[in-house]
Each structure stands twice: as structure tokens, then as C-alpha cells.
Structure 1
């Protein structure tokens, strides 16, 4: 049986949550964490090992280098700097591009032939940069886009209507940021239009 391996580059707030979620759901056999802050990687690996010790499945968790991601099926990119609550995600562009420019080529050169998933903001633009740097087809470079925003919309609608969020279909479109919009005409409750 093939080992299901996922690498995460950047184990700050979002990357660490992603790693934890993958580990506890049992959908990976191996997690490889990479961050410029080596002590952060060591700490996150230990926390994850402690967490999975009580689960009914095994997950190997280890720190590594960009080159250690070569055998991963998926590499999640969640690098970046939180710039404050009143900023535009586009304000992170310059720094995010510099970050991905520094490591995507190293990962690909090491032999990585899987899928990139980009969480780094502005994620749609950074996904395009990762595709360009990697030379991979668009079918192997994804951004989380407005996935989180769509979940947030369903949560607000559930809270405001008293209807379970699993009975609601609602999503946002556009770029993850100030230009996104909710197509209200497509919001449904148990298959019926919201209005």
C-alpha cells in the first residue's frame, strides 16, 4: 500500500491547524513539516505526535527541508506574514511572492511530482506564481480561493436563519479578498431558493 504523504511549508497558525486536521482525520500516513523557524517545526511535530498517540490510526510526523518534500503526494503552501486586521490581502503580495520564489524551485528540482495547494495570501495570485515557477499544469496547482469565505457565509446564514448549515448551499465567487461576492440568487435551503 502506498504511503499517503503530505508536506506543509509554513507551520504558523494556518499551517499548524492544517497539519493537525490532516493528522486527526487519519487521511495521511505521513506529514512532513517545513518552516524557516526550526524550533517551531520541532514543537509542532511533538504536539502532533502527542495528539495522534490516542487515535486509532498511525501518522508519522517529522520535520524536514524543502528537498524532503520530493516524495509527498501533496505540498500545502501556507507561508506568510499576518499584516494586521485592517489590511487588504493584496498588501501581502510582494512578501508572499518573494517567499514562494525562494523555495518552489527547490522542491520541484528535488523531484516533487505531486500537487501544490496554496493557502498563502493572496492565494489565487500566489497559486499562479507557483504554477509558473513549478512548470506544472493548472490541474496540479490549486488555491483555497473562496472556500473559507463560502464556509463563513454558510455559517452566518445558519446563525441568522436558525437552519442547519448542512441544509444550506451558498458560496462566494471571485478572488479571496475585497473583490469577492455572494451570488444570492444561487443560495438554496434544502434545494429551494433562499427567497
Structure 2
């Protein structure tokens, strides 16, 4: 299990010595980020540490803003999947000082959003989980970055059989965007800790 590879108890002194500690769990699709965060959540509950988790994929934009836009598919995925500046303004810039944040949560069934108010811990851990977290607009807001590193072959094997049938979408959209991220922003080099998954 991922929790055995990285001793998350290392994070606890940092949390207790700070009002709020911002932890990014970065990594490409299917690298194990959500699973890692689930284990981390269980550990924090047992330790009695207050925390809030933000899954960046909960805040994507409507389909019309990220598909068939006239741009290449990889560009749509990297640059248009999220409103990067709005998230910077309404999430990242508020993490250290504000009592709460209000964010649009994407609802797939309606291809729309519901705004929710999320309370932030006075003292504790704020976890941001998702892909492309070390893009230049967001990188400076984290106290620590963990990067879950996993080969493309292994990540693709974790997809459902139905999803694997559309390999062309991976080649044009996801994999090209991932290569761009790795080559342009060097997330593995900039992360504080690399976890091989």
C-alpha cells in the first residue's frame, strides 16, 4: 500500500507547528493520488488532526469550455479543463488566511456547477489532490509537494477495459498534456518528495 511506502507521520510535526499546512498531492492520472489521500485521511482522523481535502477534479469547467474549442485536445486538457485563475483567486489565495472558501463543484449529470462553502481548519492540514498542481499559477502556495510517480504503462493498466478501448483519446489528449507538463514544469524535480507507485 502507498501508506507503507511513505511514512505520513513525518507530516504531523509540521502540522502541529503551523497554523495551517498546505500539502499538495501531485501526480499524473491513475498514479494513486486518491488512494493515498484516503489513507492519509484515515491517519489524520486517528491522530485527531483537523484537515480539509480539495480534489482539483471537482472544480473542472463545463464540457463546452473544454471540448471542441478549436484548440488541440492536449491544450484543452491542460489549459482549459479548469479555470486556473479563478481557482487561484477563490481557492489558493485564501488557504492561509480565510475562514472558508466558496467554490463551484462540477456535477457531471447536469454538466453544471453547485457552489459550496467549505470551512477551513484554524490549525491543521489542507490537502490539495490532483493533476498538474505544480503549474506556475499554483505552485507557490504549497508548503510541501508530494509527487506520485508511476509509469504510463502501469497507469493505463489501471483504467477500465471500456476506457482502454479509446486509446486515441489518451494519445491526443491525456498523454500529450502529461508530457507537456513534465517537460515544461519539471514537477518531479520541484516536488519535495517523490513516491514511486
Higher relative contact order at CA 8 Å, sep ≥6: structure 1 or structure 2?
A: 2
Pair member with larger Rg: 1
Q: Which structure has greater strand proportion? A: 2
Q: TM-score, normalised by structure 1?
A: 0.31
TM-score computed with the length of structure 2 as normaliser: 0.31
